[in-house]
Structure 1
Amino acid sequence: MTARPVGGVPCRVVVCRDCCCGTSKVTGIDHTAQAARLRAEAPVRVSACLDVCDQANVVVVQPSSAGRAAGARPVWLGLVNDPEATEDIAAWVRAGGPGVAPRPAILDLYGFAPPRRRTAS
């Protein structure tokens, strides 16, 4: 069971699982186990394609309400294709995630800026 911070929304995780992420196109990782491991630390939402297939597997760590209050924004992590990276993310989420706990330096290797969404004119 995931611990819920007192008086707020917990850190959340989004895992892309569509055309590239979470499929046999990305080899050497148990995609089901990855999602389950992250789910052990925080609520996990499985998303359709996030349009960054060149970064498969993509994991987005969303800040808790406390993290948002501290000014944190979602952190996009790409190429999360080994159990050690999943463990690093799980540990950061367990510690509080964006805006609450410092991001481990190793996760800087996985960070990338998400694409800008096009809006209808």
Structure 2
Amino acid sequence: MVVSSIKLNTGRSIPRVGFGTGTSFINRGDDVTLVVQQAYQAGFRLFDGATLYGTEEGLGQGIEKLGVERNTIFVTSKTPDWAWTKVIQLIRLGFLSHLILSRKFANSSIFRVLLFFKKSYLF
């Protein structure tokens, strides 16, 4: 399977189709690790995790076990704004390609988090 990509205004590209490690894998990190490797072999290059599903550690381990250059895959995660530093620690890939912060009500602190995250962790 070949997945086409969309070019972003940053110059990077994001695959149009990704592999999500969602509700089917809640707190089943070992299963996520294995299935990420299978998804990569099937042609997926975008992988998605979520703090609330407990899939980020398994996602990071699965990608690590692939033995590919980190910049050849696109990794995204969704997390409440209070847990964003936990994502980086759990996924252990050095950086995320994309992060979705969820918060019921926006305030100025979330924007400070975004600016710090952009400078420190995004590729």
Superposition TM-score tier, normalisation by shorter sequence: under 0.3
Higher relative contact order (CA 8 A, sep 6+): 1
TM-score w.r.t. length of structure 2: 0.26
TM-score w.r.t. length of structure 1: 0.27
Structure with the higher fraction of residues in helix conformation: 2
Structure with the higher fraction of residues in strand conformation: 2
